[in-house]
Amino acid sequence: MNDNAQQQITLTIDGRAVAVPKGTLILKAAEQLGIEIPVFCYHDKLHPIGACRMCIVDVEGLPKPVPSCATEVTEGMVVHTRTPEVAKTWESVLEFLLINHPLDCPVCDRGGECPLQDNTFKYGPPDSRFTGEKRHFAKPVPLSALVLLDRERCIMCTRCVRFCEEISGHEEIKIWDRGHGEYIDTFPGQPFESNFSGNTIELCPVGALLGSVFRFRGRPWEIKSTPSVCPHCATGCNIRVDVRDNRELVRFLSRENADVDDGWLCDRGRFDSDFPNSEARLETPLARKNGELVPVGWNEALDLVAEGLRRAAESGPASVGAIGSPWRTNEENYLLQKLFRTALGTNNLDFTFDSRPGGAVAISEACRDGLFDGSIRDIAASDAILVIGSDISVELPVVDLWLKKASRNGAKLIYACPFPVELTRYSTIFLAYAAGGEADLVAALAGTNDQVAGMAPDVLHEAVKTLSGARRVLVLVSLRAFQEEGGDHLLKSLRALKSASGNTRICGVAAETNAQGAMDVGMLPGYYPGYRRIGDGSALAQMAEVWGLRASAASATSGDQMLAAAREGNLQALYLMGQDPAAHPTRGGETADALARIPFLVVSDTFLTKTASLARVVLPGCTFAEKEGTFTNTERRVQRINPAIRLRGESQPDWMILCRVAERLGAPITYDRSIRIFEEMTRVAPQYAEMDYEVIGEKGLQWGRHETPWTPVEE
């Protein structure tokens, strides 16, 4: 523990005593007493600079007022925040800021949620003494296609600049000129291309930085906010979904979960928010008639689906299969595998076409035996971090920020990847290996292998030395690496590394939003929910008791095996939920050819994708913003999503669609809410056994978490 955290300082603020750790700022000490001190330049995640002087307070014994955001407490300090002198200072600072700030609150997107506006009403002057002409600039200045700058409103708090310097590492905007001529801008001719540019909009305490996606689309009093989880990657960043008039989704904002996102969002998570509003959404079921997909009613579509699946299943369990989705909820994936295992008697289930049976074995063993016990927050407390086989900046952008923060705080970052990526410039050691060589690399790091092909021995030796000398080691390993031929070898090597490095934790890195959850609930080939092997008598008995139905013990095939069977004409029916494999940039054509050979293809999706255009029946599923359920992120944290907008057209949640299919197949699979499915999941998936839907709350619960949390390293 940090020495400052152990030493307590007692001071008095406005006549009230408070004890805080040494090193605490006056501003934060006042917060503990519920005393508000207005700020502009200060932000909890940025280094204090005391630039705006808004937070000035009086300290007895000092010759002049001090900025509370940049002054540490001392023993016996006496602080006054509500004296006439302090009130006059706050009023004067606001008056200076408003000299050139345009009073255009009625048309400013920050109107109604603007700190400058709020502080002016609370602490500012009743009117302005300034009668001259205010400054005028061209507006808005496009820093990028997503971020617009209204230079007239800028108060030079420099939050945006400091975020780029201290957090994202993308120093693309700077302060230009000096004195009254200072302004914020990018380097000449260079756009603001940071993957985290949208955070500067949320950090801006006025309406100077605006997002082009939300601009002029709503006012705060028209907006209803719903807590949810970002659907775009497996980090599971917490978001606030803002909806206007209960129908138009207008923006995503960050909703801080200190264990997951540290309060940040990447630009994909912030700005890719308009898809639920798209006019291209599927709103009615479609069925193929005379070679064309035409709209039909739900009853006709579901009758066709049930009859087509039933006929295919009559040819045996190998003739029918289902592919779930890492972009659908745990409940929907769980229900899909339950339906096919019981009503159709098959175990041909997967959530991707990329998997191999050996990879499923390795992943299931890693999840079942507790190999994965690391957390995103462990990054901040690690002395050494080993990343294997994943381009974190692309796959889990906000985890990129955690790693950069750890590197700045002194953690040794060892990046292992076949090619250089953005984070390699932050790494202490870069280990380049041949694609598919993760198992050999980990074996070498664990001391069970002498060398790695193509890697200099001294670099490898330095990495081994760094890991062995660290007190706390976190390993982030791509789950895709388990799908390679040496998945079992990688599993053994990781176990050896964990033993050899002492206090080591491992976290699997999933690229897709809910890939971990899809595996947890039974969409992994060869495994029932909870990573129990097909044919496991105790698992079968338990599920039969919970389900009231007998699950199939037939052999299983993976996604790539199902495609092979389709090419050979041996797969009669496939139900595909929430995926578009025919649009894959490299394998799409080959996959589309295989899918076209399946006599009865059913696709449930929100858009008429390339894959959906091949189907016999297309069912309109809804987006994450229209339903309740759970996602499980890459660190195995189960988090809730909540409906924020009304269903579009006749679209329905996939769990509801599956219940209606089950009814037509004669299977007693009915639920009135998604929460009922979750409650059932906790009875058959051991990893979820101690979870309660309400207790999950807005921050989530993690399975496989280490009982002893690491104390984060302070900056």
Provide the CA 366 distance to its chain's centre, in angstroms: 22
Bridge partner residues of 605 (DSSP): 620
Q: Considering the entire predicted model, what is its pTM?
A: 0.94
Q: What is the pLDDT of residue 132?
A: 86
715 pLDDT more than 90 = no
Read off the pLDDT of residues 621-647 as tens digits, 9 standing for 90 and up. 999 999 999 999 999 999 999 999 999
311 pLDDT more than 90 = yes
Residue 172 contacts residue 187 (beta carbons within 8 Å): yes
Q: What is the pLDDT of residue 340?
A: 98
Bridge partner residues of 641 (DSSP): 629
Three-state DSSP at 95 gives helix
Mean pLDDT calculated for residue range 294-306: 98
Choice between 178 and 258, residue whose per-residue pLDDT is larger: 258
Residue 186 contacts residue 151 (beta carbons within 8 Å): no
Mean pLDDT calculated for residue range 267-290: 96
Report the alpha-carbon distance of residue 458 to residue 507 in Å, rounded: 27
Domains assigned to the chain: 3-82 (3.10.20.740), 105-211 (3.30.70.20), 220-277 (3.30.200.210), 286-355+524-684 (3.40.50.740), 362-515 (3.40.228.10)
Q: What is the pLDDT of residue 714?
A: 57
Q: In this structure, what token pair is assigned to residue 304?
A: 């066709």
Read off the pLDDT of residues 387-433 as tens digits, 9 standing for 90 and up. 999 999 999 999 999 999 999 999 999 999 999 999 999 999 999 99
DSSP 167: I
Residue type, 672: D
How many Å is the Cα radius of gyration of the chain?
28
688 pLDDT more than 70 = yes
Q: Quickly state the pLDDT bin for 5 (edges 50, 70, 90).
A: low
1 pLDDT more than 50 = no
Question: What CA–CA distances, in Å, run from 124 to 46, 51, 109, 153, 234?
Answer: 26, 18, 21, 17, 44
Report the alpha-carbon distance of residue 374 to residue 259 in Å, rounded: 12
DSSP per position, 620-675: EB--GGG--EEEE-TT-EEEEE---SPPPTT-B-HHHHHHHHHHHTT-----SSHH
- Lowest model confidence (mean pLDDT) among 444-448, 505-509, 613-617: 444-448
First and final CA of the chain: distance in angstroms?
13
**Averaged confidence pLDDT in the chain:** 94
Read off the pLDDT of residues 461-490 as tens digits, 9 standing for 90 and up. 999 999 999 999 999 999 999 987 778 999
DSSP per position, 660-689: HHHHHTT-----SSHHHHHHHHHHH-GGGT
Q: Quickly state the pLDDT bin for 4 (edges 50, 70, 90).
A: low
Q: What is the pLDDT of residue 484?
A: 76
135 pLDDT more than 80 = yes
Q: What is the pLDDT of residue 497?
A: 94
User: Which is nearest to 254 in space by CA: 262, 244, 265, 243?
Assistant: 265
Report the alpha-carbon distance of residue 94 to residue 489 in Å, rounded: 64
Read off the pLDDT of residues 570-580 as tens digits, 9 standing for 90 and up. 999 999 999 99
User: Which is nearest to 616 in space by CA: 245, 229, 270, 289?
Assistant: 289
φ/ψ of residue 460, rounded to 5: -65, -40
User: Which is nearest to 144 in space by CA: 183, 174, 189, 204?
Assistant: 189
Task: Show the CA angle centred on residue 703, arms to residues 405 and 329, nearest 5°.
Answer: 95
User: Which is nearest to 306 in space by CA: 333, 337, 340?
Assistant: 340
